[in-house]
């Protein structure tokens, strides 16, 4: 019998193994507030990849600035590029040039909420433009919507995901607190022929006080938009001690080991509560090991 014949097919991963891998490779989303860099340096290991959000009020500047600064400190930080905040091709070229010079190799492309758009009205148009100018990014994320989008029909959302997928390398979902909804959505995405790895958006270990401070820090108009988007999660933060994502990830765990979807990791919405979120992740990893 040859050595080739002696080889055995690797055993499929168990849910526990899949969960441990997903937590080890989790990514963190942070807000570009003044204290963000200090908190990242104090509490987040450099092997945790980050994304930096953008807001209509502050524009792309603070987002790109923070992503570059964190990159200089050894982090892999992907700025959110909101298409509607990119004025034109010259503006996009300048953004890419700065990120290229800083060695940034990841971006997350979204449409954005700006009422008035420049040359790029949606994520797809910006993705195409990035390819046309020859971007340097090895990881390009796009958004996924397990519970749909408040202003866009499910049919259009599905069509948009299929159109954007060839220009991207991963999908990051919006927050969804129903594990079954996320699993059903992920199975449908796979059945529709989109085979990109999916990171499931989950909240970090955050208290209601922290959520209130975050929403206040966004400014009145941005706070109203933020809270309107997160209505389905607000009541959970009024539980004693705040919210823990444990039950949600336990419900998602079996799906990570199944072949009918491409769920591969977690994307943690930290709301900049990085100390609590990282402590929670380390506790879960210790328990799994």
Residues 85-101 pLDDT 10s = 999 999 999 999 999 99
Which of 202, 205, 206, 204 shows the shortest CA–CA distance to 265? 202
Dist. CA 56–CA 42, nearest whole Å: 28
Weakest mean pLDDT among 63-77, 133-147, 197-211, 219-233: 219-233
247 within a domain of the structure (yes/no): yes
pLDDT score at 208: 62
**CA separation for the pair 266, 168 (Å, rounded):** 17
- Would you tell me the crossing angle of helices 36-43 and 274-288 to the nearest 10 degrees? 30
Residue 230's domain spans which residues? 26-288
- Please give the model's pTM, rounded to 2 decimal places: 0.86
At residue 10 the predicted structure's pLDDT band, cuts being 50, 70 and 90, is: very low
- Establish if 236 belongs to a structural domain: yes
Confidence (pLDDT) at 210: 65
Distance CA 157, CA 173 (A): 13
In the block, which residue shows the tokens 């900049």?
Answer: 272
Longest dimension (CA), the chain: 72
How many percent of the chain have pLDDT more than 70? 81
- The reported pLDDT for the residue numbered 101 is 95
Integer CA distances (angstroms), 212 to 176, 227, 238, in order: 19, 10, 11
Residue 147: the pLDDT is 85
Count of structural domains within the chain: 1
Locus of tokens 């570009």? 32
Give a yes or no: residue 283 inside a domain.
Answer: yes
- The CATH number covering residue 47 comes to 3.20.20.220
168, 81 contact by CB (below 8 A): no
| pLDDT computed for residue 16 by the predictor | 81
Q: How confident is the model at residue 152 (pLDDT cuts 50, 70, 90)?
A: confident
What mean pLDDT is predicted for residues 31-52? 96
- Reported as a pLDDT band with limits 50, 70 and 90, residue 271 is confident
Name which residue leads in pLDDT, 168 or 147.
168
Residue 232 CA to residue 228 CA, distance in Å, equals: 9
What average pLDDT score do residues 250-260 get? 90
User: Residue 212: what pLDDT?
Assistant: 60
Given a cut of 90, is residue 250 above it in pLDDT? no
Q: Report the alpha-carbon distance of residue 265 to residue 218 in Å, rounded.
A: 28
Q: Which of 92-101, 133-142, 211-220, 248-257 has the lowest mean pLDDT?
A: 211-220
Decide if 1 contacts 185 (C-beta within 8 A): no
Q: How many Å apart are CA 200 and CA 219, to the nearest integer? A: 27
Q: What pLDDT shows up at residue 15?
A: 74
Is residue 17, in this structure, part of any structural domain at all? no
Query: Among candidates 182, 257, 206, 259, which has minimal Cα distance to 22?
Result: 257
Tell me: pLDDT of 9 over 50: no
Q: Is 137 inside a domain boundary?
A: yes
Is the Cβ–Cβ distance between 83 and 111 less than 8 Å? yes
Here the tokens at position 182 are: 């996320």
Say which residues have a Cβ less than 8 Å from residue 50's Cβ, sequence separation at least 6: 27, 28, 29, 30, 40, 44, 67, 70, 75, 76, 77, 78
Asked whether residue 80 is domain-assigned, the answer is yes
51 located within any domain? yes
Greatest mean pLDDT among 2-16, 25-39, 200-214 lies in 25-39
- Neighbouring C-beta atoms of residue 93, cutoff 10 Å: 12
- Closest alpha carbon to 187 in 246, 150, 146: 146
Decide if 18 is inside a domain: no
Is the distance from CB of 83 to CB of 123 less than 8 angstroms? yes
Spatial contact of 16 and 253, defined as CB atoms under 8 Å apart: yes
DSSP assignment letter at 84:
G
pLDDT at residue 170, as a whole number: 98
CA angle 88, 93, 96 (to 5 degrees): 125
Q: pLDDT value at position 238?
A: 52
Average pLDDT over residues 110-128: 88
Report the chain's terminal Cα–Cα distance, integer Å.
37
Q: Lowest mean pLDDT: which of 11-20, 132-141, 213-222?
A: 213-222
């Amino acid at each position: 019998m040859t050595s080739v014949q002696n080889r055995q097919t690797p055993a499929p991963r168990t849910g526990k193994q899949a969960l441990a891998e997903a937590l080890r490779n989790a990514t963190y989303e942070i807000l570009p507030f003044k204290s963000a860099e200090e908190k990242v340096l104090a509490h987040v290991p450099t092997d945790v990849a980050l994304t930096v959000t953008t807001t209509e009020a502050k524009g792309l500047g603070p987002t790109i600035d923070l992503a570059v600064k964190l990159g200089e400190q050894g982090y892999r930080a992907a700025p959110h590029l909101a298409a509607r905040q990119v004025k034109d091709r010259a503006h996009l070229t300048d953004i890419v040039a700065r990120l290229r010079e800083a060695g940034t190799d990841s971006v997350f492309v979204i449409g954005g909420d700006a009422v008035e758009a420049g040359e790029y009205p949606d994520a797809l148009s910006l993705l195409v433009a990035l390819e046309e100018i020859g971007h340097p990014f090895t990881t390009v994320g796009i958004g996924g919507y397990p519970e749909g989008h408040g202003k866009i029909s499910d049919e259009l959302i599905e069509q948009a995901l299929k159109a954007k997928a060839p220009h991207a390398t991963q999908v990051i979902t919006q927050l969804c607190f129903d594990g079954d909804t996320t699993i059903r959505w992920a199975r449908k995405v796979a059945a529709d022929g989109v085979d990109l790895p999916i990171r499931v958006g989950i909240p970090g270990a955050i208290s209601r006080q922290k959520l209130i401070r975050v929403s206040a820090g966004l400014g009145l108009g941005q706070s109203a938009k933020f809270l309107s988007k997160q209505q389905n999660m607000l009541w959970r933060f009024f539980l004693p001690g705040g919210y823990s994502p444990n039950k949600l990830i336990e419900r998602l765990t079996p799906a990570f080991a199944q072949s009918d979807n491409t769920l591969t990791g977690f994307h943690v919405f930290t709301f900049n509560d990085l100390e609590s979120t990282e402590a929670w992740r380390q506790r879960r990893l210790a328990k799994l090991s």
